[in-house]
C-alpha cells in the first residue's frame, strides 16, 4: 500500500495511475483545494488490475487527519505532491505557502516517524536554485530561491536531511524543471483553475473563446529574446519517480536529483512546435516580463541517469501532443 498526497492534482494523479498500473494499492490523501474530485473518481473507476484506490479527503495542516490515515493503513512508502506551487501567488501571500507546504510536510514527516515509515519521494523544484550562475544546472549549483515557493521547498529539503539523519526517514527529493504533457489515454492531465503555465496557456488560446496568448518578455539574452526552459514530459517524470522509489527500496540513501532533459527551448520555439502539432496558427502578444522569471533554466540530469538509471525519452513535440489531446478531450 502506497500513500500519494496531492493525487487529485496534475503530477500526483499521473503517479497514482502509474502505481495502479504497476500493481500497487494506493491511498490518495488530498484536501481538494486545487485538485479535482473528478480525477480521483476517474482513477477509482479504472479498476486497474483490480487494485484498490481509497480516497481520503484531508488536510496535512491537521496532524490528526494524517495520523488517522496512518492508523488505518500500513504504508510501504509515501509520494508527496500536495503543495501550493504558483510562484506569483507565493510572492504575494507567503504565509499560506509556509503553512501549507512547510507545516503540512512537517506534519506528514512527523506522522511517518510516529508510524515507522521510512521512505518518501518528494516533489522539489528547480525554483530552489533561483537565478542560475551557469547552465546546465547540476545538483551542486548553489540554492538561492528568489520566491517564497522556492524557499518553502528548499526548507523542506533541509528538514528532510535532518529527519534522515536523526530518524532514518530516507527521501528522494526530485527537483523538477518544466513539466508538460498528459496521460496518453487522457485519463488524467493538467488541470489548474488558475492556469499560469506555458503549454496549457498556448493550447487554451485555440479555444474560440480563449484569450490571446501572451508572451512575457522578448528582450532576454537568449537566441530569440524569449526565456529558455527545459520541458520534461510527464511520463518521463513519472518514470523517474518509480526509479527513485526502487532506489529507496534497495536501501538508497537520502539524496536529490534534477529531473530535466538537458535541452532548452525558448517560448517562441514551444509556440512554433505547438503550431506544428495542432496545425493551427497561434496568435500572440508580447507583454511585460513576469517578475522573477530567469532567462534560462536547463537541467544537468547526469546524476539521475547514473544513480537512478533514468533516461528521459520524450520529445517536446510528444509532450505538446499529449497535452493537446487532453485539452481537446476536456476543454477545447
Ligand atoms: N510564459 C509565457 N506566457 C504564458 C505562460 C508562461 O510567455 O502564458 C513563459 C514564462 O515567462 C516562462 C516560460 O513561459 O518564461 C515558462 O513559464 P511557466 O509558467 O510554464 O513555468 P515557469 O518556468 O515559470 O515555472 C515552472 C513551474 C514552477 C517552478 C518553476 C521553477 O511551473 O512551479 O518552473 O523554475 F517553480
Q: Please state the domain extents for the chain.
A: 2-180+231-260
Write the pLDDT tens digit of every residue in 117-148. 999 999 999 999 999 999 999 999 999 999 99
Residues that are catalytic: 149
Ligand 1 neighbour 87 (Cβ under 6 A): yes
Ligand 1 neighbour 160 (Cβ under 6 A): no
Check if the beta carbon of residue 318 is closer than 8 Å to that of residue 183: no
Phi, psi of 305 (to 5 degrees): -65, -45
Q: Per-residue pLDDT for 209 more than 80?
A: no
165 burial type by CB count under 10 A (0-12 exposed, 13-18 middle, 19+ buried): exposed
Query: Looking at ligand 1, which residue's alpha carbon is closest to its atom 7?
Result: 215
Write the pLDDT tens digit of every residue in 16-61. 999 999 999 999 999 999 999 999 999 999 988 889 999 999 999 9
Where do runs of H (alpha helix) occur along the chain?
10-22, 37-45, 63-72, 87-92, 94-97, 104-114, 148-167, 198-204, 234-249, 267-278, 302-308, 316-330
Grid coordinates given for 291: 517578475
Check if the beta carbon of residue 303 is closer than 8 Å to that of residue 138: yes
Ligand 1 geometric centre to CA of 149 (Å): 13
**Reduced to 3 states, what is the DSSP secondary structure of residue 125?**
strand
Ligand 1 geometric centre to CA of 275 (Å): 19
Quote the pLDDT of residue 208: 76
Quote the pLDDT of residue 192: 95
For the entire predicted model, the pTM comes to: 0.98
Residue with cell 532533459: 261
Ligand 1 neighbour 297 (Cβ under 6 A): yes
Ligand 1 neighbour 227 (Cβ under 6 A): yes
Ligand 1 geometric centre to CA of 71 (Å): 39
CA–centroid distance for 319 within its chain: 15
Check if the beta carbon of residue 168 is closer than 8 Å to that of residue 238: no
Residue with cell 496568435: 283
Write the pLDDT tens digit of every residue in 170-198. 999 999 999 999 999 999 999 999 999 99
d(CA 170, CA 140): 20
**Reduced to 3 states, what is the DSSP secondary structure of residue 322?**
helix
Quote the pLDDT of residue 153: 98
d(CA 322, CA 256): 28
- Choosing from 10, 216, 266, 316 the residue with most ligand 1 atoms within 8 A of its CB, the one to mutate for a pocket test is 216
In b/e form, how buried is each residue of 80-117, taking b as 16+ CB within 10 angstroms? bbbbbbbbebbeeeeeebbebbbebbbbbbbbbeeeeb
Of 3.40.50.720, 3.40.50.2000, 1.10.3720.10, 3.60.20.40, the CATH number of 2-180+231-260 is 3.40.50.720
Amino acid at each position: 500500500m502506497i500513500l500519494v498526497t496531492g493525487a487529485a492534482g496534475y503530477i500526483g494523479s499521473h503517479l497514482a495511475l502509474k502505481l495502479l498500473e504497476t500493481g500497487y494499492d494506493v491511498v490518495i490523501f488530498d484536501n481538494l483545494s486545487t485538485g479535482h474530485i473528478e480525477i480521483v473518481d476517474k482513477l477509482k473507476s479504472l479498476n486497474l488490475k483490480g487494485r484498490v484506490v481509497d480516497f481520503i479527503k484531508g488536510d496535512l495542516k491537521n496532524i490528526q487527519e494524517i495520523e488517522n490515515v496512518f492508523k488505518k493503513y500500513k504504508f510501504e512508502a509515501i509520494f508527496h505532491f500536495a503543495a501550493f506551487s504558483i510562484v506569483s501567488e507565493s510572492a504575494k501571500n507567503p504565509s499560506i505557502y509556509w503553512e501549507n507546504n512547510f507545516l503540512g510536510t512537517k506534519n506528514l514527516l512527523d506522522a511517518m516517524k510516529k508510524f515507522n515509515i521510512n521512505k518518501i519521494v518528494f516533489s522539489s523544484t528547480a525554483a530552489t536554485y533561483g537565478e542560475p550562475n551557469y547552465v546546465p544546472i547540476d545538483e551542486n549549483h548553489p540554492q538561492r530561491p528568489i520566491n517564497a515557493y522556492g524557499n518553502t521547498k528548499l526548507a523542506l529539503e533541509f528538514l528532510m536531511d535532518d529527519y534522515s539523519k536523526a530518524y532514518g526517514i530516507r527521501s528522494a527529493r526530485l527537483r523538477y524543471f518544466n513539466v508538460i504533457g498528459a496521460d496518453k489515454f487522457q485519463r488524467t492531465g493538467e488541470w489548474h483553475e488558475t492556469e499560469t503555465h506555458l503549454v496549457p496557456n498556448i493550447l487554451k488560446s485555440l479555444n474560440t473563446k480563449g484569450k490571446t496568448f501572451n508572451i512575457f518578455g522578448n528582450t532576454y539574452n537568449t537566441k530569440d529574446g524569449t526565456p529558455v526552459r527545459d520541458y520534461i514530459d510527464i511520463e518521463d517524470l513519472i518514470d523517474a519517480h518509480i526509479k527513485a522509489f526502487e532506489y529507496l527500496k534497495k536501501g538508497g540513501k537520502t539524496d536529490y536529483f534534477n529531473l530535466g532533459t538537458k535541452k532548452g527551448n525558448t517560448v517562441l520555439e514551444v509556440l512554433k512546435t505547438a503550431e506544428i502539432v495542432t496545425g493551427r496558427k497561434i496568435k500572440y502578444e508580447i507583454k511585460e516580463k513576469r517578475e522573477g522569471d530567469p532567462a534560462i533554466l536547463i537541467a544537468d540530469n547526469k546524476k539521475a541517469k547514473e544513480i537512478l538509471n533514468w533516461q528521459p525519452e520524450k520529445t517536446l513535440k510528444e509532450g505538446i501532443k499529449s497535452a493537446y489531446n487532453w485539452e481537446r478531450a476536456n476543454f477545447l
